[in-house]
Structures are given as C-alpha cells and as structure tokens.
Structure 1
Amino acid sequence: MCGIVGYIGKNDALQILIGGLKKLEYRGYDSSGVALIEDGKIETVRASGKIAALEDKLKSKPLHGHVGIAHTRWATHGAPTEQNAHPHQSFDGNISIVHNGIIENYAILKKKLQSEGIEFKSETDTEVVAHLIARYYNGNLKEAVLKAISKIEGTFGLAVICKSEPDTLIGARRGSPLILGIGQDEFYLASDVSAIIMHTQKVVYLDDNDIVEIKEDGYNLLNTHSQSVQHEVQDVEFDADAIAKGGFAHFMLKEIFEQPEVLRNTMRGRLLYAEGNAKLAGLDTNIKELRNINRIIITACGTSYYAGMVGEYMIEDLAGVPVEVEYASEFRYRNPIIKPGTLV
C-alpha cells in the first residue's frame, strides 16, 4: 500500500514529511521520496529500499522549504527502483506529484504525450499525470489539475506542488483515500491519518472527486465541476500512541495481541445478551427490505475477502440466504447478473 504525506505551513517541511512516512511504514513499501520547493525550484530526493536509505541520501543533500510532498511506494507499474520512486516531476520541471492508485488508461495517454515530444523517465503510470498537469498549466494549478484528472480513468489520491505557485498545495481523490489535516496556520495531506496525528487531530475526509486547494492561510474544497463543497471538520478520537508499536517488535505482533480487545470493542453495544439479540445500527431501519432479500453478494479484497468468506458461512447457516463472495477489484469489471432481491 502506497502512502502520501504533504505539508504547507511555516515550519520545516522535511522533518514533518519524513516523520509522516515513518508512521506509514506498517503499510509496506519498496521505495520512498520527498520533493520540496526551495529557492524557486523543486528539489527531489528518492531512494529504493527502506526510509533509512532516503534519510542517508538526505544527509548529503539536505532539503529546506515550507511546502512539500512525500511518498512510500509499493511497485505496480515498473520495478521498485529509484527511477520509478515518487515524487515524479513534469517534463518542464514545474510540477511534482505523488500518487496512490492505478491510472487505467495511462498507456493511451503516454502514447499521446510522447507523440507531442514529451520524454518519459520512468515506467510508472503516475508520470503521465505529472506531464498532463504541466501540459494544461496556464498560471492556475487548480485548473490544470482539474483538466488533467478529467482525462484520467482509474483511481487516484494525488498531492501536487508547482514551482510557479510555491504557496499552493493541491490534493485530489478518486477511489483512493486522502485526508486534509488542519493545524495552526499549517495544513497537511495524508493517505492515512496516522501520518499526521502527531501534529493535529482536526481532519477533513475527502470524498471521491473532491479537490482541495491549500494555502498557508486556508483551504478551498470543490468537486470536479469546480463547484464548492463543504465537509465537516472532524476530531480524530485516537492519538499517536494508539498507532505506535507499543513495545512490540512488529505491528503484526501488536495486532495479534490486540485481537481480544478489538473483538470486544467491535461487539460492544451490538450484542444484547439479556435479550439474546444482535443490534446492527442502520440495518434494522430497513427490516422490510431485508425480508425481501433472497441473495447476497459480498465484495472485498485482501483480509476483508477472508472475513467475507466467514460471513458467507455464517449468513447461509443462520439466515438461510445464498451468499457469494467476490473480489471487488474484479467485480467492477464484470457485468454481473443482479436481479431484484439481491443485496450487494
């Protein structure tokens, strides 16, 4: 799972970005990198391997600035090399981006850009987005990002900086999580709240097709139609200690030992032992619809897929309703036969 961190404010961006990347190490990655706007230029340092390798390179090339982006990559398009690590820069050096997700039509876009004389330096689908934004840039980064993502098919969480607008950080989301963190005269972008929780507990969760334009004095949320949108600022209910290893050697070991407490918390308030019933908030209000369900499809990926398989056995045994478990990543490309009475 790739990780994104972005920062704009009055403090040293590099330490905040590196600290955020370290909090995302539990997600797994094979390379990392940072890009900062420094003295009117975008300075980038990338490394394959652990974040420690990136820190070693930064010792010989320290970066300074108040606006920057960072990334941990899990290779999809292209090998896990420094060349393919994020951030990726545009052909003119004006734009730098980090990206989570998959650009499904990248090959078509890449071919078109190459026909216009643009040279690619990596094997990634992400580099296409950097060049597209630069191609559309005409003095307004937000508009260039909007035009670029209108050409993209697939999923993305994006953080974008531009040397021509050194006071701006752009975030965009479609199908890949992205969070805006709100501090005191400073703002953060992250793919996971764990990357920024040590700095702020006030966050805005972006919805699909949201764009956020961030400056030191505020932010502007809009959708892909350039219409203003509003989202509630939420308080994160856990702190940095909750996402630390807590004395365990590895996050997986910590999570194994946490299972009993997690299960208790999950069931708390849902199992009514005195009545012998389970309360599932949100489902009991549609009891009439549920009675008409004659087939259930559970879509999931990874560990959720295995949880779905457990659910399949339990629902069929207890409710007598046929259940199918499908990989969500494949289900979206199918033309499934879904008739009335099917719950997905």
Structure 2
Amino acid sequence: MKTQAMVMTDFNKSLELTEIEVPHLENGQVLVRLAASGVCGSDVHIWHGEDKRVKLPLIPGHEGVGYIEDIKGQHCSVDGQILHPGDLIIWNRGISCGRCYACQVLKQPSLCQERITYGINNPCDTPPYLNGCYAHHIILTADTDIIKLDDSTDPVTMVSASCSGATIAHAFDMCRIKPGSTVAVQGPGPLGLFAVAFARALGAGTIIVIGGTASRLDMCKKFGADMVLDRKSVSKKDRFDTIMQVTGGRGADIVIEAAGYPDAAKEGLDILAMGGTYLSTGFAQFTGYAQIDFFSQIVRKNAIIKGVWVSDTSHLYDAVHLISKNPPLFSNMVTHTMPLDNANQALELMASKKALKVVLTN
C-alpha cells in the first residue's frame, strides 16, 4: 500500500508531494487516515528553518485528527477504551520517555529532553516514516497517547486542540483563576482565542484582549472577551490607562502573552496587578530580548512569571472537552480549508497572517 505526504527537504523551499510506501505495522502501532491536519504558526517557523529541533527530511504537521485504518495488536485510549479500525481519534503530538527526571520527579513530561514530536523532530527517513500530519496517513507509535472522539465530532474544528488549545490548557493548569479575576490576553491568534475561551469557562470576571488585527479582535469578542484594545489605534499609554480604569487601578490579575514578541513582555508586566501571574505561551523559538525593570515590574509586585512550554496529554484532554462543549464557536477559528497538496499555499497564508487558521483536509 502506498500513500502521499508533503515532504520538506530544505528550508524556505516548496514542500514536495511524495509517494511513500506504508510499512508493515509493529505491535501497538496505529495506522491513521488523516481527516484534518492543522497548519500551525510554528509550522511557518519550521519552514523558515528557525526551529533548532527540526530534522530533515520532514513531513511537517503536529496537529492531526483522523480515522483508524489499521492496528497491530492492541492499543487503548487514555481512558482505557480498546481502539478499533473506524474510530475517530486525536493524539498527543509529543511522546515523552516516561523515565527521566522531568517525567518522573517533576511530573512535567513536556520538559522531557527525549521528547519526540510528530512533524517537528521526527524525520520521515526514520521508521515508521509516516511521522507527520501533512499526509494522507500517519503511523502512531505504541507509546502515543490517544483520545477517542465522538463520531459526530468535526475533525476540522477539533484539530486545533492538538497545539494551541493544549498549550493554553497547560497555562491555566499553572495558575488558579479566582472568581471575578481580570484576565488580559496579549495576541488575538489561536492561542489568544483559546485563552479567552478557557478564561471564560474557568470563571474570569473581565477579559481584555490586546492585538493589532481588527478581524481577530472581533473574533475574540465572540469567544467571550469583554473588551478589546487595538494596539494600532490605541496607544500603549492609553491601553495602560484603560486597563487601570477598568480594574480600579490594580491591573490584570492574570496576563497571558500569546503574541511571541519581546515587546509584549514589558507591557504585560506593566499592566499586571500586584500579586499577579504572567503566563508566557507565545514563544516557539528565540525572537529577541526584552528589557525588564525587575524592581518595579516583578519584585515590587510579588509577580509570578511562568513560561509555558508545549503541553502534555492531560492538557490535550482539557482542550478537547472545551471544544466539545461548543463546536460551532470553535469552528469560527478556521478561516481556510484546503486539500493536502495545497500545503505550500497554506504556509504562505499563515506566514502573511491573512489566515487565522488553515486546515488541510483529505
């Protein structure tokens, strides 16, 4: 049996539609026919050669939802269901070793130094070869954590749970929202939208989003934002004054950086309340330095600053259930769908920010 995948053989070059022989499955492996493959903003950085984890040749794509086509032996979902051909599934994009200090002592498998990620550092010249989601098929290894989805689930809507949804679930796993808390979100992309949705679901009082794209800010309102501030038309000082006015001069209890720009950090710490928590989720690679006043922005505030690196299976589980509660809302996040062989166009759309979310379909 043969299948097709879009293969990256060099950075900043077009991906090539390539025919690949599907190998015989080993015990516990699962052959999945992909129904939806998400094109993530980090895929653009991978395409540009900005992610040091990447090994070529690569089938990109770490976000996938699909139907099981074949299983060798037995593989169970994370809640103990025996999986069968025909089941609709989503899976944790990362596979941690389960044995190291991060996995066993810290209980943070996302920090595992041996972590393998589909479509990022798992090249397609390594068995089982079908190691990324920009393909008609992917082979999941025996140690991949799988969540079985309801048959009525729309794969296109659900696929964003794999990355941006799970990452924001990880962020909120690191801090507790008290009822009535003010949450400020920097960046109205997929991460920002999930931040708004999770904050609303977890009981935030007021949610404020700062961003520079009017259409995305409007989308944030649909997801539950109470106020949006367009950084292109509202000055930094006016944004600060507005947030202080809304919060009675205290600032935001929780600020979530979902932009990936160093300048966001300084503003985020300025608007953070005394005793507040700053969660940085938007940096997938190095993009520069931020100048921080440790006394006034951190020490004087007793501020808590936490970096949020990827996610684990529990966070994916939370994101799946968040989307399942309101699929029509999350379907708004997907602005473009296109067939697999249009992957290069999809990357260009994401790079130009003309698309909020692109999903490849089979």
- Name the TM-score, length of structure 2 as normaliser: 0.26
- Name the TM-score, length of structure 1 as normaliser: 0.27
